[in-house]
Amino acid sequence: MLSVGDAAPDFSVYDHNKTQIRLNDFAGSKVVLWFYPKADTPGCTMEGQGFRDEFEKFQNKGVVILGVSLDSPEDNMAFAKKFNFPYPLLCDENREIATAYQAVKSDADNYAARITYVIGGDGKILEAIEKVDTTNHASQLCSRL
């Protein structure tokens, strides 16, 4: 994983709504970049619902939520609609983000690791979270930001 204090790699990718998203678009804001293995699977659903349920609290703190997987825009669109996710799900089909953030180790990896980064408004990594409990990850993270 990247380390606290490292510069967060910029990226440009489309989300589930086919909107182009760049990390630099959020300069000056904290960003939670949470990687999940596969859309609409039990653990990813639980984690995504946690971010959904805490979304307003994150917004009130000026924190941007971005989910990232290797899934297609169609799969992420269905996932977002099914569970009413109010935040972008980034479709990293080319592994640009997952590679830069070490959520995949090689081209042979079919899924991103379940990891989270908190990026400060200055573009530096504030937290790198390797072990995620899907049941309370979002609420615990929100409480300390």
φ and ψ at residue 87, rounded to 5 degrees: -120, 160
| b/e per residue 93-114 (b: at least 16 CB within 10 A) | beeebbbbbbbbeeeeeebbbb
With contact defined as beta carbons under 8 Å apart, do 145 and 61 qualify? yes
Dist CA 52 CA 107 (whole Å): 30
DSSP bridge partners of 31: 64, 119
Annotated catalytic residues are: 44
Contacts of 106 (CB under 8 A, 6+ apart): none
Q: Round to whole Å and give the CA distance between 88 and 142.
A: 18
